[in-house]
Amino acid sequence: MKRKHKRLTFVIIALLLLGGAAALVLSAFEENIVFFMSPTDVAADKVPHDRRFRLGGLVEEGSVDRSAGKTVTFRITDLSNSVNVSYTGILPDLFREGQGVVSEGKMVGNLFVADEVLAKHDENYMPPEVADALKKSGQWKGNAK
């Protein structure tokens, strides 16, 4: 085997081993890399009770209640389970019913008390006229309203 072939084999084997090692590390840290938990995780009791965590999902249709002054309550759903959330503060521009959000806070009984709400943007980009046309023709598949 020529020296350059030896070096080539060495680089390829090293990369494969590194890739494998990275995959193992990342799968071991899976729980820490995941940015937020879902309402199903809450229902399955997979979330911490005494620690803060992030809860992500869609703002359920018709669940937003702003009657309590600065405190807003709404439900976050992943379409199979949902969790009641209360939040005091300023909501981001994209916050609305049907929008994906990630909120950070703690479970207090069955209520998730959030102190931060971030809006999640999806991968759809289109002009407003197209969005209106899609809604009119009933082909609207996106999460957002």
Partner 1 sequence: MKMLHQFANPTRFLRLSTRVEPWALVVTVVCFALGLYYALFSSPVDYQQGHTVRIMYIHVPAAWMALFCYTAMAVSAAVALIWKHALADVAAKSTAPIGAVFTLLALVTGSLWGKPMWGTWWVWDARLTSMLVLFFLYLGYMALRDAFDDPARGARASSILVIVGFVNVPIIKFSVDWWNTLHQPSSVFRMGGPKIHPDMLVPLLLMAAAFQFYYFWLLLVRMRRELMAQRLRALRHRQAEH
Any contact of residue 117 with partner 1 (CB under 8 A)? yes
Helix (H) or strand (E) holding 101: strand 100-108
Q: Which residues pair with 101 in a beta bridge?
A: 57, 119
Any contact of residue 13 with partner 1 (CB under 8 A)? no
Any contact of residue 93 with partner 1 (CB under 8 A)? yes
Out of 64, 81, 84, 91, point to the residue binding partner 1 (CB under 8 A): 91
Least distance from C-beta 81 to partner 1, angstroms? 15
Out of 24, 28, 34, 79, point to the residue binding partner 1 (CB under 8 A): 34
Q: Please report where in the chains the tokens 């820490």 appear, as a residue.
A: 32
- The window from 45-53, 65-73, 107-115, 118-126 that contacts partner 1 (CB under 8 A) reads 118-126
Least distance from C-beta 80 to partner 1, angstroms? 15
Angle, alpha carbons 63-109-96 (nearest 5°): 20
Chain contacts with partner 1 (rule: CB under 8 A): 4, 7-8, 11, 14-15, 18-19, 22, 26, 30, 33-36, 38, 56, 91-94, 102, 116-132, 144
